[in-house]
Amino acid sequence: MKARVARLLSLGSYLGLIAFGMLWAIRLGELPRNQISITLLLLVLPLLIPLRGILHARHKPLVWGMLVALLPLLHGGVLLWAEAWPKAAWGGLELLLAVTYITLGSFFIRWRAQAER
């Protein structure tokens, strides 16, 4: 039961990271028009690579997703630290989503392995 809840919450936070990356590049980041595509490539494309395995709850893609989630974690931390209030709040949300995915994804792998024993 707890593994299932951890999986659903980690999956939701991972999909939230993807949605946030797209939303940041298109609307929230107030980027110049010629920087939107490169920002999408840097923030969203790495998150899409292990997505199929994450949706199927496979261990290796989950771990790769945790490694890739370090990029939004760094981006959110920098926004939280360096920007003024509205952008800092968005950085805090991105940081929270990344930490939630990494933590709950780890717990999901551990609890599912314990349940299979």
pLDDT at res. 86: 84
pLDDT cut 90: percent of the chain above it: 69
Instruction: Calculate the CA dihedral of residues 60, 64, 67, 72 and round it to 10 degrees.
Output: -140
Sign of the CA dihedral with 91 first, then 94, 98, and 99 last = positive
Helix axes 59-68, 70-82, angle to 10 degrees: 20
Mean pLDDT along residues 71-87: 90
In angstroms and rounded to an integer, the radius of gyration of the C-alpha atoms of the chain is 15
**Confidence category of residue 31, pLDDT binned at 50, 70, 90:** confident
Contacts 24+ apart (CB under 8 A), 92-97: 93/20, 94/17, 94/20, 94/24, 97/13, 97/16, 97/17, 97/20, 97/72
pLDDT at res. 109: 94
Contacts of 104 (CB under 8 A, 6+ apart): 6, 7, 9, 10, 13
pLDDT greater than 90 at residue 115: no
pLDDT at res. 93: 94
pLDDT at res. 67: 95
